[in-house]
Amino acid sequence: MTTTQYRVIGSRPVRHDGADKVTGKAIYTADTKLPGMLVGFVLRSPHAHARIISIDISEAEATPGVHAVLTAADYPNVENKMADLGEGSINLSYLSSNCMAQQKVLYRGHAGAAVAATDVHIAEEAVKKIKVEYEVLDSVTWVLDAMKEDAPLLHDDMVTDSMGEKASKPSNVPAHLHFEKGDAAAAFAEADVIVEREFKTATVHQGYIEPHAVVADYNEDGRLRIWTATQGSFTCRQQTAEILQIPLGNVLVTPCEIGGGFGGKITVYLEPTAALLSKKSGRPVRISMTRSDVFEASGPTPGSFMRVKIGAKNDGTIIAGEAWLAYDAGAYPGGVIGPGCMCVFSCYDIEHAVVDGYDVCLNKPKTSAYRAPGATQVAFATEQLVDELAQKLGMCELEIRQKNAVKEGSRRVDGPVYPPIGLVECLDALKQSDHWNTPLQGPNRGRGIAAGFWFGCGLKSSAACTVNSDGTINLLEGSTDIGGSRTSIAMQLAEVLGLEADDINPQVGDTDTAGYTDVTGGSRVTFATGMAAYEAGRDLQQQMKTLAADLWDCPADEITVDDDGSFSGNNRTLGFKELAVELFAAGEHLVGRATVSPECPTNGFGAQIADVEVDPDTGKVTVLRYTTIQDAGKAIHPSYVEGQLQGGTVQGIGWALNEEYFYKDDNSMANASFLDYRMPTMLDVPMIDTIIVETGNPEHPYGVRGVGETPIVPPPAALANAIYNATDTRMTELPMSPPKLWKAMQKHQAS
Nearer to another protein, 682 or 687 (CB): 682
| Least Å from the CB of residue 683 to another protein | 4
Which residues inside 170-199 make contact with another protein, applying CB under 8 A? none
Burial status of residue 3 (CB atoms within 10 A of its CB: 0-12, 13-18, 19 or more) = exposed
| Least Å from the CB of residue 209 to another protein | 14
Which residues inside 606-625 make contact with another protein, applying CB under 8 A? 617-618, 620
Q: 264 near 369, Cβ under 8 Å?
A: yes
665 binds another protein (CB under 8 A): no
Q: 213 near 28, Cβ under 8 Å?
A: yes
749 binds another protein (CB under 8 A): no
Torsion sign across C-alpha atoms 235, 239, 244, 246: positive
Helix axes of 271-281 and 92-99: crossing angle, nearest 10 degrees: 60
Nearer to another protein, 558 or 676 (CB): 676
Binder to another protein among 10, 311, 509, 680 (CB under 8 A)? 680
Q: 240 near 232, Cβ under 8 Å?
A: no
Torsion sign across C-alpha atoms 123, 129, 130, 132: positive
| Least Å from the CB of residue 117 to another protein | 18
> Segment contacting another protein (CB under 8 A): 179-187, 198-206, 224-232, 672-680?
672-680
Nearer to another protein, 516 or 662 (CB): 662
89 binds another protein (CB under 8 A): no
Nearer to another protein, 618 or 749 (CB): 618
| β-sheet with 560-561: strand ranges across | 560-561, 567-569, 572-574
Binder to another protein among 670, 728, 747, 749 (CB under 8 A)? 670
Report the C-alpha gap between 555 and 739 in whole angstroms: 77
666 binds another protein (CB under 8 A): no
675 binds another protein (CB under 8 A): yes
Q: What is the DSSP letter of 639?
A: H
| Least Å from the CB of residue 624 to another protein | 13
687 binds another protein (CB under 8 A): no
DSSP string, 8-77: STT--PPPTTHHHHHHT-S-BGGG---TT-EEEEEEE-SSSSEEEEEEE-HHHHTSTTEEEEEEGGGSPP
| Least Å from the CB of residue 686 to another protein | 11
**Per-residue x/- mask for another protein, residues 118 to 157, rule CB under 8 A?**
----------------------------------------
Nearer to another protein, 546 or 618 (CB): 618
CA 7 to chain centre: 31
444 binds another protein (CB under 8 A): no
750 binds another protein (CB under 8 A): no
Residues that bind another protein (rule: CB under 8 A) add up to a total of 21
User: Rounded to 5 degrees, what are φ and ψ at 378?
Assistant: -70, -30
Report the C-alpha gap between 220 and 283 in whole angstroms: 10
How far is the CA of 650 from the CAs of 207, 619, 620, 655, in angstroms? Answer: 12, 20, 17, 9
| β-sheet with 66-71: strand ranges across | 66-71, 111-117, 38-44, 285-288, 213-218, 224-228, 251-255
| Least Å from the CB of residue 108 to another protein | 15
280 binds another protein (CB under 8 A): no
Nearer to another protein, 436 or 674 (CB): 674
User: Rounded to 5 degrees, what are φ and ψ at 220?
Assistant: -60, -30
Binder to another protein among 168, 441, 571, 681 (CB under 8 A)? 681
| Least Å from the CB of residue 106 to another protein | 23
Which residues inside 721-740 make contact with another protein, applying CB under 8 A? 737-739
CA dihedral 59, 60, 66, 71 (to 10 degrees): -130
Binder to another protein among 241, 361, 742, 745 (CB under 8 A)? 742
Residue type, 169: K
Three-state DSSP state, 682: helix
> Segment contacting another protein (CB under 8 A): 66-74, 511-519, 552-560, 657-665?
657-665
Nearer to another protein, 38 or 657 (CB): 657
Nearer to another protein, 305 or 742 (CB): 742
* Cβ neighbour number for residue 472 with a 10 Å cutoff: 16
> Segment contacting another protein (CB under 8 A): 64-72, 228-236, 257-265, 674-682?
674-682
**Per-residue x/- mask for another protein, residues 482 to 501, rule CB under 8 A?**
--------------------
Q: 78 near 90, Cβ under 8 Å?
A: no
Residue type, 463: A
| Least Å from the CB of residue 290 to another protein | 10
Report the C-alpha gap between 552 and 603 in whole angstroms: 45
| Least Å from the CB of residue 5 to another protein | 44
209 binds another protein (CB under 8 A): no
Nearer to another protein, 183 or 684 (CB): 684
| Least Å from the CB of residue 214 to another protein | 23
Burial status of residue 37 (CB atoms within 10 A of its CB: 0-12, 13-18, 19 or more) = middle
3-state secondary structure labels for all residues of 72-132:
HHHCCCCCCCEEECCCCEEEHHHHHHHHCCCCEECCCCCEEEEEEECCHHHHHHHHHCCEE
Three-state DSSP state, 649: helix
| Least Å from the CB of residue 670 to another protein | 5
Q: 44 near 134, Cβ under 8 Å?
A: no
Report the C-alpha gap between 722 and 623 in whole angstroms: 10
Residue type, 229: A
Nearer to another protein, 260 or 738 (CB): 738
**Per-residue x/- mask for another protein, residues 292 to 311, rule CB under 8 A?**
--------------------
Binder to another protein among 444, 542, 671, 732 (CB under 8 A)? 671
Which residues inside 557-616 make contact with another protein, applying CB under 8 A? none
| Least Å from the CB of residue 612 to another protein | 14
662 binds another protein (CB under 8 A): yes
Nearest to 634 by CA among 689, 537, 699, 564: 699
Which residue spans within 192-259 are E strands per DSSP? Answer: 193-201, 213-218, 224-228, 251-255
348 binds another protein (CB under 8 A): no
Binder to another protein among 12, 200, 678, 730 (CB under 8 A)? 678
Nearest to 200 by CA among 134, 248, 145, 242: 145
Report the C-alpha gap between 207 and 112 in whole angstroms: 24
516 binds another protein (CB under 8 A): no
Nearer to another protein, 297 or 669 (CB): 669
676 binds another protein (CB under 8 A): yes
Binder to another protein among 572, 684, 730, 733 (CB under 8 A)? 684
Binder to another protein among 209, 683, 687, 750 (CB under 8 A)? 683
Nearer to another protein, 676 or 728 (CB): 676
How far is the CA of 608 from the CAs of 274, 431, 447, 452, 707, in angstroms? Answer: 43, 11, 11, 8, 14
Nearer to another protein, 438 or 746 (CB): 746
Q: Residues interacting with another protein, by CB under 8 A?
A: 617-618, 620, 657-658, 662, 670-671, 675-676, 678, 680-684, 737-739, 742-743
